[in-house]
Chain A
């Protein structure tokens, strides 16, 4: 079980290479990558559920919980250690997911999507009403420390390396999961839930576990984004934010664990250059890119790589 397969070795290697890239890459690029990989983690949450056939329109809920936990932990509780804060984020998200999951796993398809959206919007409403948390303006996140060490001026670099590390480790673990029997059962649920039930597995509890895992993964991404941008606000739970995550998930496709990271990087890159070159119509560019991918690469960007493989075999 502990044997590292080729994909895992590749993922860890890429994570390490990118983290080392901090030494040579311009700092705007490392920041872009920090945000992209952290978003990639949030999108992993969406993708885990997609593999099991559920599409969440409210993943912003856990993204927001992750960000706010880091913010509140640093600003009001006095926890400054990055690792402790991230663990707290995941725990908080998992706790909320355990409660909501009881209700949500009774739903499928569009109803699941709409209900997740509703819960996310309720959090948005609550945060918008909380003046002690800065209402819709949100509040700033304190600089973090790592096991007693304060990165100081290199804080953003530290968050970047941390993000690369979290992304690589999460990717390896999720890869193992998708290759395990649990991962195959999830795919089976997506294909045909009733047959899975006949085989003696409870789809509902599988989906429940998937939902909680997805929540924790997304919260990890949210926490990292909170540290990177230094600010959190309720917009993180707004439905358009969740829409962006689905956008990225489809961009990458659900076939490979690295796809969300690649897609998030492409998304950030396209968006930042669209904003720069066509400041008045950048949304339209994004729209056309998305349509193009759906029409020409229905299984996401990753199918580009897989197609060459399939052709080689044929």
Chain B
């Protein structure tokens, strides 16, 4: 029973983290058809920005420790928007309409550049922002102890997911965006400013990536290479769920999260294969992913 509860809670926490990490990826792909290899770098930038701000707050500058949560959010917002708009404006804008696969390579080049750029800005020494992690205390039930911060992550990802859904489905801009997703050319013909839409979408996507990084920062040691590690994970979740679908990313995250937690508790030897196993299985049954739409073949 303890194990079952542990799998459920661990799986949910991990799933909410996976959702946060992959939401930005799927938003960008859904609207812009860019599979963003550099997404992990935005995650890392968010983590570094959050960690250095929180570190500064607690190293004498600070007053109320609870302000550090706002600092994490603020760091993600500023870092994500600045970097996102800058890259969209200086690079991606020249590339629209190119082949989907070529865009993957463009973002791969971006990944190489950003990884070293991060190192130039923050160096290789780890950054810590552990204070917000311990501040909320912990809770024990059925022989297990969990950090409240981790449980809070579940709430945050629910809010993010629901917020994205609301924006897409209940606002005017969101409806325009869905029109762009559905048929870009017709949307342009109808007078939708697709360029602006793309810029905003990309910035929102990078900000979501940075947010995931900033919220993870308190629980980890922020050091070089953390970004590269999340890319494949996020890809797997998005592909399992169906590329470009928010609901799909959520479903993919829950599926991968719970399966991984079950593997860790019941068969730790299999942990290494879980993600790719789930991905191969889902794709062999549903090639377009759980929530993906089948593509219309060109004639």
For B120, the closest partner residue in chain A by CB is A281
B235 at the binding interface (Cβ < 8 Å): yes
B122 at the binding interface (Cβ < 8 Å): no
A110-B35 in contact given A125-B272, A294-B105 (Cβ < 8 Å) = yes
A291 with B119: CB separation less than 8 A: no
Residues of B85-103 at the interface with A, using a CB-CB cut-off of 8 Å, are 91, 94-95, 98, 100-102
Q: How far is the CA of A110 from the CA of B243 in the complex (A)?
A: 9
**Count of residues in B whose CB is under 8 Å from the partner chain:** 43
For A239, the closest partner residue in chain B by CB is B232
B298 with A243: CB separation less than 8 A: no
Q: How far is the CA of A115 from the CA of B95 in the complex (A)?
A: 26
Q: How far is the CA of A193 from the CA of B111 in the complex (A)?
A: 32
A290 with B105: CB separation less than 8 A: yes
Question: Chain A, 247-280, contact with B by CB distance < 8 Å: what is the 0/1 string?
Answer: 1001000000000000000000000000000001
Contacts of A280 in B (CB 8 A): 116, 119
Contacts of B62 in A (CB 8 A): none
Q: How far is the CA of A286 from the CA of B112 in the complex (A)?
A: 7
User: Considering the complex of A and B, which 6 residue pairs feature the smallest CB-CB distances, nearest first?
Assistant: A287-B112, A284-B116, A287-B113, A290-B109, A287-B109, A125-B272
A-binding residues in B (CB < 8 A) = 35, 91, 94-95, 98, 100-102, 104-106, 108-113, 115-117, 119-120, 228, 232, 235-236, 239, 243, 269, 272-273, 276-277, 279-280, 283-284, 287-288, 295, 297-299
Q: A114-B235, A250-B102 are in contact. List 16 more A-B contacts (CB 8 A).
A: A110-B101, A113-B101, A117-B232, A121-B232, A125-B273, A239-B232, A250-B105, A281-B116, A281-B119, A281-B120, A283-B116, A284-B115, A287-B116, A294-B109, A295-B94, A298-B102
B-binding residues in A (CB < 8 A) = 55, 103, 106-107, 109-111, 113-115, 117-119, 121-122, 125, 128-129, 192-195, 239-240, 243, 246-247, 250, 280-284, 286-288, 290-291, 294-295, 298
